[in-house]
Amino acid sequence: PKFPWRGLLLDCCRHFFDKEKVKQYIDLLAYYKMNTLHWHLTEDHGWRIAIDQYPKLTTIGAWRKGEDGQPYGGFYTKADIRALVAYAAERHINIVPEIELPGHSQAAIAAYPHLSCTGEAVEVGTEWGVFKDVYCAGNERTFQFLEAVLLEVMALFPSPYIHIGGDECPKYRWEHCSKCQRRIDDEGLQDAHELQRYFIRRINAFLQKHHRRLIGWDEILEGGLTDSSVVVQSWRGMDGALQAAHQGQCAIASPTSHAYFDYQLDAIDLEKVYQFSPIPVGYSGDLKYILGGECNMWTERVPTDSVLDQRVFPRLLAMSEVLWTAPVVRDYPQFNNLYKNQTPTLAAKKNEK
Ligand code: ACM
Ligand code: ZN
């Protein structure tokens, strides 16, 4: 393959997909020669991974009020996760867990309100969007919590990389929180934006101590995080990948323009994915910094297994082709014929779960 990182992000938080579905996707990824399952496990809308030290993450944080008023959700036990990690490894798929911080954390805060700036009770998120309640950056208990969670996560996942999110963290609570303001003063920071840098750096130091590399969404660049072990996942276009590679950091490309498989086919069709290149336009540096790409399968509007299948396939085949062959002159009609030959295979696999 041209690129060593060929991934699918599967958001199991906005909607929950059971372990059999995840296993089927591991099979499909392997079949189409992808090698990374980026498993989005924590969100405002649900916490999906059992953590022994914090049981309310799954007794409370895994369940939200569903559209019919009944609890909606689910989670993976440690036994489920160990089995899936082993199953994936046998198929040469690395599972990268994503534990979102400091934003996208409302489900954890619903379970443990002391983790937020206000300490007030909140519900696991039910509306789609970005939420203002985030982990308090001024409270040491936040870091105790996150380190304990990450230790349990690292014990389950041998992945050299741990994804910590880092995207879309509103600063409103931090600007109005005395603990966060004290942290800003104590650390000599300018404002709440620099507090995010402090937060990510601290988590990075913890992961490094445990010999893991941090991956974050491109927002992590805003604080000037230039550590060469950090990997940047570019989603707001390709600028994050370009900046990271220029400063000697590895990048994974999954821009909204080509790699957001939650978008409908009329926005990103098969040909558009096929035309993608994970190499940013204008980049002439060492290609070793461009690890590859991912298809990002967010699931706000993907309530069922069959909608998931419709969104991922056949576009995943185009991404696989891109990551095996780019950059080359592309022949879409030829690819289209190749993929049509796969239709019976895909139809058969659909029922294998
Ligand atoms: C993202 O889509 N917020 C990474
Ligand atoms: Zn705070």
Q: pLDDT tens digit string along 70-127?
A: 999 999 999 999 999 999 999 999 999 999 999 999 999 999 999 999 999 999 999 9
Which ligand minimizes its atom distance to the CA of 233? 1
Position 225 confidence tier, pLDDT thresholds 50, 70, 90: confident
pLDDT of residue 353 exceeding 80, the answer is no
DSSP category for residue 316: H
Which ligand minimizes its atom distance to the CA of 133? 2
**Ramachandran angles phi, psi of 165, nearest 5°:** 70, -110
**Ramachandran angles phi, psi of 76, nearest 5°:** -105, 130
Q: What is the pLDDT of residue 130?
A: 97
Position 350 confidence tier, pLDDT thresholds 50, 70, 90: confident
Q: Is the CB of 235 under 6 A from ligand 1?
A: yes
pTM of the complete model beyond 0.95: yes
Q: What is the pLDDT of residue 263?
A: 97
**What is the total residue count of the chain?**
353
Q: Is the CB of 168 under 6 A from ligand 1?
A: yes
DSSP 44-59: TTEE-B--TT-THHHH
Contact 94/88 with Cβ under 8 angstroms? Answer: yes
Q: What is the pLDDT of residue 338?
A: 87
> Residues with beta carbon < 5 A to ion ligand 2?
117, 136, 138, 177, 179-180
- What is the Cα–Cα distance from 252 to 247, expressed in whole angstroms? 14
Contact 233/267 with Cβ under 8 angstroms? Answer: no
- Distance (Å) of CA 187 to CA 181, 195, 198, 252: 10, 9, 8, 31
Task: Give me ligand 1 centre to Cα 30, in Å.
Answer: 25
Q: Which residue's CA lies nearest to atom 3 of ligand 1?
A: 167
Q: What is the pLDDT of residue 26?
A: 98
Out of 25-29, 222-226, 245-249, pick the least confident. Answer: 222-226
Position 211 confidence tier, pLDDT thresholds 50, 70, 90: very high
Atom of ligand 1 nearest to the CA of 260: 2
- What is the Cα–Cα distance from 274 to 330, expressed in whole angstroms? 8
